[in-house]
Amino acid sequence: MSSTADPDCLFCKIVTGEIPAEIVSQTPHTVAFRDVDPQAPTHVLVIPRRHEPDIGSLAAVDAEATIALLAEARKIAEAHAEGSYRLVFNTGAEAHQTVFHCHAHVLAGRALGWPPV
């Protein structure tokens, strides 16, 4: 894990294995695991190993990790969705971000309405 880890961050603790999770995949840059409160039959979180609060922060400091995160989210969707999926990044409390470690939600397996509520 990068030196930017936050010892109080839930997702950093999942990266290190301190907190268990149902891991779907791991790469040198990412960890993907099933959401504990799934909002769709497929609901996987893909996170960078590096602690950054949101996708904008990650993109500003580590382009390689950002690309790796997006590529892994696509692989997860291709493996677990049947062609249709939603990729969501919530940024900030008003957008319902509850863990301030960058993460992508890969959602699939049911009709997803628009606009999201």
Residues known to be catalytic: 103
Tokens 């950002």 sit on residue: 66
Using alpha carbons, select from 67, 65, 50 the residue that is nearest to residue 101: 50
Burial of 5 (0-12, 13-18, 19+ CB in 10 A): middle
Distance CA 35, CA 100 (A): 15
Distance CA 88, CA 13 (A): 22
CA-based torsion, 57, 62, 48, 3: positive or negative = negative
